[in-house]
Amino acid sequence: MPLIVNYSSDATSEAVPEVMFVVSTTNKMPPIGILKTDQPQALLIRMGPSGHVDVLKQYLPALEKIEGLPVAEFLERAKNAGKEFAAAPGDDEKVQHEKQQMGIVFNESRFQMQALYRETDPKAFADPDALIAFVKEALSGNRPLHWLSEKPKV
């Protein structure tokens, strides 16, 4: 369900525009279906402009090269990837495939990740105050992001 959430007690702060919050007992219901484990869980997804994390800026600021190119050059090339790697008339199937793969490699959104937060403690689902605490903790930045590629914690 989309929500408007103001997680701060400071009346002058701005509310997060919108989040999607899903509680499910299985991983069959979108967007929970993107998770690898089939267990009770809550997923909070930041939507809109604040809904993505720029991994290059936030987690990899010291990175010097991507695909053998300086970061600035890679990003510039990614902006033009649609034109640079577009199939041309007369390209055979192999060349088209190579260009398609390079278009994926030089995708502008390659380092943009969806801002997801996950809770798997069933006690949190039974207690409204615990659910509210989960949302506040996530949106205030006090809870780590959940990455879809992350291995389930045992």
In tens, the pLDDT along 75-122 reads 999 999 989 999 999 999 999 999 999 999 999 888 988 888 888 888
- C-alpha 117/C-alpha 51 separation (Å) is 11
Lookup: tokens for 75? 């990003």
My answer on whether 42 and 63 are in the same domain is no
My answer on whether 119 and 44 are in the same domain is yes
Give the containing element (helix H, strand E) for 53: strand 52-54
My answer on whether 49 and 63 are in the same domain is no
> Measured between alpha carbons, how far apart are the two ends of the chain, in Å?
29
DSSP one-letter code for 28: -
Report if residue 36 sits inside a domain. yes
My answer on whether 90 and 125 are in the same domain is no
Note down the domain range covering 46: 2-54+113-139
Domain count for the chain, please give it: 2
pLDDT at position 141 over 50: yes
Compute how many other C-beta atoms are within 10 angstroms of the C-beta atom of residue 143. Answer: 17
Report if residue 152 sits inside a domain. no
pLDDT at 59: 87
Min mean pLDDT across 7-11, 70-74, 94-98, 136-140 is at: 7-11
pLDDT at 90: 93
pLDDT at 70: 95
pLDDT at 3: 46
Reported as a single tens digit per residue, the pLDDT across 10-66 is 545 555 457 777 777 666 656 655 666 667 778 888 877 778 888 899 889 999 999
Burial class of 130 by CB neighbour count within 10 A (0 to 12, 13 to 18, 19+): middle
My answer on whether 133 and 107 are in the same domain is no
Report if residue 37 sits inside a domain. yes
My answer on whether 69 and 50 are in the same domain is no
pLDDT at 126: 79
My answer on whether 62 and 40 are in the same domain is no
My answer on whether 94 and 62 are in the same domain is yes
pLDDT at 2: 45
- Which residues, including other chains, have CB under 8 Å from residue 78's CB and lie 6 or more apart? 106, 107, 108, 110
My answer on whether 44 and 79 are in the same domain is no
My answer on whether 49 and 121 are in the same domain is yes
pLDDT at 34: 60
Preceding peptide of 49 cis, ω within 30° = no
pLDDT at 29: 58
My answer on whether 6 and 45 are in the same domain is yes
- C-alpha 114/C-alpha 46 separation (Å) is 8
My answer on whether 63 and 99 are in the same domain is yes
